[in-house]
Amino acid sequence: MVSKISLKIVTIDMEKNINKNKIWIYVLTVYFICFCFRFLEYFLIRTDSTFFGEAFIHKLLGIIVLFVTAGFLYITPGEMGFLRSKFSKNLLRGFLLGLFCYFLAYTVEIIIVQNLGEFDKLSLFVTSYSVNGNLGNHTEAIFFIICIFGNIINVVMEEGVFRGLFQNLFERRYSFWPSAIFASLLFGLWHCVGPIRSFTDGDSNRMQLIMNLLILIGSSTLIGLKYAMLSKITGSLYAGMADHFVNNTIINILHVVSISEIDQLQTIRISIAQTVSFIIVFIVYYSKTINGCKK
């Protein structure tokens, strides 16, 4: 009897803490807090321009905000997609997806550069990604470790917040696709800070700013949709995290060196990998949806 009463009290508390009419307030409040942290780090602290080469402080703070908010709203880690079941399997799925798509992308890039008579070699060294080209050229082990841990923090925060929390909240009011679109648009806008800083620092002009914003926001929104579908297909965040990790890490450590410059076709490489990846995930999602409807 006591357990039934306790369960009822918890259920009532959950209903009070998650008001469907306040979903946007919850989401935008968390987004604003995380965005402020991101803005401060990019414009004031500039951790990515230091020894670390990664803007990771706002991501760590974002993880704290994520779990504090989830606790306040009585959303469990499992409900957000941090599931123990099939952890290894879903991680492997994401890694294989990312590695396969980038294998194709690097192959195409190398063929193009070879045909131009420019290809020299593939090289391993650590850089920091920038909208105006990669920065740095580090071969020491410590920089590979920082790159790996920085990207782990990045994928936990971004997938946790945008797919785990925002997607979860939106789906309490909307169906999957509107929820995925809303969360992915916020994810796209999340990436506008880099181009804006580049412009204010004088590293790009107004036209370059507009083009960089359009490209980054548009591509990040589509990538967000892919990760939303992955989380729906697998029932967890881990496949998306693994694919996200491969995407962010491989472009920082594996480089196509040509005679005239390094990574001259990096944008094309990323576009190929993400396009192929999106198509694969969409086909799998669509086939599962059709099979689910038939059952």
Which tens digit of pLDDT belongs to each residue from 90-129?
999 999 999 999 999 999 999 999 999 999 999 999 987 6
Over residues 3-25, mean pLDDT: 60
In order of 75, 205, 233, 271, the CA distances from 181 in angstroms are 21, 30, 16, 20
Q: State the average pLDDT for the chain.
A: 90
Question: Is pLDDT above 90 for 6?
Answer: no
| pLDDT tens profile 150-201 | 999 999 999 999 999 999 999 999 999 999 999 999 999 999 999 999 999 9
19: confidence class by pLDDT, cuts 50, 70, 90 = confident
What single string gives the DSSP state of each residue in 44-55?
II-GGGSTT-S-
Question: Is pLDDT above 80 for 49?
Answer: yes
In the chain, % of residues over pLDDT 90 = 80
4: confidence class by pLDDT, cuts 50, 70, 90 = very low
In the chain, % of residues over pLDDT 70 = 90
Question: Is pLDDT above 60 for 16?
Answer: no
What single string gives the DSSP state of each residue in 115-182?
HTT-EEEEEE-EEE--TT--EEEE-SHHHHHHHHHHHHHHHHHHIIIIIIIIHHHHTTTS-HHHHHHH
Question: Is pLDDT above 70 for 278?
Answer: yes
164 compared with 1, residue with greater pLDDT: 164
Question: Is pLDDT above 50 for 7?
Answer: no
- pTM comes to 0.89
Tell me how many domains the chain contains. 1
Query: What pLDDT is stored for residue 80 in this prediction?
Result: 96
Query: What pLDDT is stored for residue 286 in this prediction?
Result: 93
Query: What pLDDT is stored for residue 135 in this prediction?
Result: 60
135 compared with 244, residue with greater pLDDT: 244
In order of 35, 38, 53, 277, the CA distances from 222 in angstroms are 20, 21, 26, 11
Do the bridges between strand 119-124 and strand 126-128 make them parallel or antiparallel, or are there none, so unpaired? unpaired
Question: Is pLDDT above 60 for 287?
Answer: yes
86 compared with 225, residue with greater pLDDT: 225
36: confidence class by pLDDT, cuts 50, 70, 90 = very high
Question: What domain range includes position 139?
Answer: 2-294
